[in-house]
Amino acid sequence: MSAHTDNAITIAAPMELVWDMTNDIASWPRLFSEYSAAEVLRRDGNTVRFRLSLHPDPQGVVWSWVSDRTADPDSRTVRSHRVELGPFKYMSLFWEYVRADGGVRLRWVQDFEMKPGAPLDDAGMSDRINTNSATQLKLIKDAIEAAARG
């Protein structure tokens, strides 16, 4: 079994600003509410290996993982995958930036499968990702639109 999520939002800002702000991984803790730290481990052309850390959970555990992310400025797409999988058998992400009326439509597609015995199954993780994506996309929208005005 595997899972697929697809979430998007339109951001009223120029493409370059949306692209630049969302691809500045080191600034993600200021753009996303869920990350306490984002550490760039290495760069190789348009590919970045980085570690993301969440805020501590109720038991004080800080969850983190390493991903590789390759941006294609010509097609305005980004592909990434987790290198440290944690509870996932695999996790791949696709970001798409499309000019839309009044701004840019930012779309996140995630394909994954949970490992047997993980705290959530594929359906449970899909629900969690869809709920969290709506929250994070709204925060990103608000931050980028504020930057565009400011």
Instruction: Provide the angle, in degrees to the nearest 10, between the axes of the packed helices 15-22 and 122-149.
Output: 130
Q: Give residue 71's pLDDT band: very low, low, confident or very high (50, 70, 90).
A: very high
* pLDDT greater than 80 at residue 96: yes
Query: Would you say 144 and 17 are in contact if contact means Cβ atoms under 8 Å apart?
Result: yes
Nearest to 111 by CA among 39, 35, 5: 5
| Segment 8-24, tens digit of pLDDT | 999 999 999 999 999 99
- Tell me which residue range forms the domain holding 76: 3-149
Total tally of structural domains belonging to the chain:
1
Torsion angle of the four alpha carbons 133, 135, 127, 67, in this order, in degrees rounded to the nearest 10: 40
Q: Give residue 1's pLDDT band: very low, low, confident or very high (50, 70, 90).
A: low
* pLDDT greater than 90 at residue 25: yes
Mean pLDDT of the chain: 97
Q: Give residue 108's pLDDT band: very low, low, confident or very high (50, 70, 90).
A: very high
**pLDDT for the residue 139:** 98
CATH of the domain at 126: 3.30.530.20
The pLDDT > 90 percentage for the chain reads: 97
* pLDDT greater than 90 at residue 115: yes
pTM (two decimals): 0.95
The predicted model gives 67-84 an average pLDDT of 98
The predicted model gives 48-63 an average pLDDT of 94
